[in-house]
């Protein structure tokens, strides 16, 4: 029996990286998984799960759109009889444009996907979970949301919002049996961080990627997926309103290499 046997999970951003790793892991642990992503790569994630003997469906859409997020919850109830886990993982980085070059529209888009998206997940998932008296909601934050030094201003602000969202949502859902937590990845090799890794490899500096954390390496999507599995499972039955940093120790100090202006 897997740790999620008989349960249904929705995972956004499941077309690649952390979301894909999480979808595969949750399915291997017994969950029926609704894989969601804005790209058509999400179909490959669901296909891989089904070919391995798991149960998954793929749905393409925008995780920052209210109607789409609600439709994911509706599909979980219609296709699998209910919803047990929702991992709001989809996110965008926005790059590293200097602050004075950023616009309000640029900020709005990052906040819409990275912060409003998780809010919508909490809103709609909890509505389906409350009558069942249980449920686990996970949001992907970032060490960039803990302190400066791990991301651009808009991205960092959005992830700081996620950290506060899980705290306030956990208390809003007082007594419902629903737990709301976040995982805060450090430097992980995903589609979003590809430019960082590609640039380092092009310079011949791959061995220096992740050198600023005490574990002295970057992380893999599967390592974040395992943290999410813990938060989704009964192993975390007394964990609520928390943010779990999975970063090789980076957030203990956030050392940075300063850029000259």
Provide the b/e sequence for 112-128 (b: ≥16 CB within 10 Å). Answer: bbbbbbbbbbbebbbeb
pLDDT band (50, 70, 90) for residue 227 = very high
pLDDT, residue 119, reads 98
260 pLDDT higher than 70:
no
Question: What are the strands, taking DSSP E only, across the chain?
Answer: 8-12, 32-37, 55-60, 85-88, 135-140, 178-185, 243-246
CATH code reported for the domain at 8-246: 3.40.50.720
Enumerate the H helices of 130-215 as residue ranges.
Answer: 153-172, 194-202
In this structure, the number of other CB atoms found within 10 A of the CB of residue 17 comes to 23
Average pLDDT over the chain reads 92
Condensed to tens digits (0 to 9), the pLDDT of residues 35-82 reads: 999 999 999 999 999 999 999 999 999 999 999 999 999 999 999 999
pLDDT, residue 195, reads 62
Grouping H, G, I as helix, E, B as strand and the rest as coil, residue 55 is: strand
Percent of the chain residues past pLDDT 90, beyond the cut: 78
Enumerate the H helices of the chain as residue ranges.
Answer: 17-28, 42-51, 66-80, 104-111, 117-129, 153-172, 194-202, 221-232
pLDDT band (50, 70, 90) for residue 210 = low
Asked about 218 being catalytic, the answer comes back as no
Burial (Cβ within 10 Å: 0-12, 13-18, ≥19) of residue 180? buried
Strand order in the sheet with 178-185: 55-60, 32-37, 8-12, 85-88, 135-140, 178-185, 243-246
pLDDT band (50, 70, 90) for residue 253 = confident
∠ CA 216-147-90, rounded to 5°: 80
- In terms of pLDDT, which residue wins out, 90 or 217? 90
pLDDT, residue 98, reads 87
Condensed to tens digits (0 to 9), the pLDDT of residues 158-209 reads: 999 999 999 999 999 999 999 999 999 998 877 666 566 655 566 776 666 6
Condensed to tens digits (0 to 9), the pLDDT of residues 116-159 reads: 999 999 999 999 999 999 999 999 999 999 998 888 999 999 99
- Cα separation, 82 vs 98, in Å, equals 45
Catalytic residue among 155, 174, 218, 238: 155
pLDDT band (50, 70, 90) for residue 5 = very high
């Amino acid at each position: 029996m897997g740790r999620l046997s008989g349960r249904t999970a929705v995972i956004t951003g499941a077309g690649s990286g952390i979301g894909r790793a999480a979808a595969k892991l949750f399915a291997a642990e017994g969950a029926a998984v609704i894989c969601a992503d804005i790209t058509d790569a999400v179909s490959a994630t669901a296909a891989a799960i089904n070919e391995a003997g798991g149960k998954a469906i793929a749905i393409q859409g925008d995780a920052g759109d209210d109607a789409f997020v609600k439709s994911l919850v509706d599909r979980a109830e219609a296709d699998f009889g209910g919803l047990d886990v929702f991992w709001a993982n989809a996110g965008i980085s926005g790059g590293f444009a200097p602050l004075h070059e950023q616009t309000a529209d640029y900020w709005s888009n990052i906040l819409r996907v990275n912060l409003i998206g998780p809010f919508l997940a909490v809103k709609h998932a909890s509505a389906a979970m409350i009558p069942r008296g249980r449920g686990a909601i996970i949001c992907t934050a970032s060490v960039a949301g803990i302190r400066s030094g791990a991301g651009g201003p808009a991205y960092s602000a959005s992830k700081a919002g996620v950290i506060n969202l899980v705290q306030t949502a956990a208390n809003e859902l007082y007594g419902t049996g629903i737990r709301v937590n976040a995982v805060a990845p450090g430097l992980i090799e995903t589609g979003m961080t590809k430019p960082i890794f590609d640039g380092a490899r092009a310079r011949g500096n791959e061995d220096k990627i992740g050198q600023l954390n005490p574990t002295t390496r970057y992380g893999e999507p599967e390592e974040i997926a395992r943290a999410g599995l813990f938060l989704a499972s009964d192993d975390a039955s007394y964990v609520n309103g928390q943010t779990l940093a999975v970063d090789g120790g980076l957030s203990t100090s956030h050392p940075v290499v300063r850029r000259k202006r």
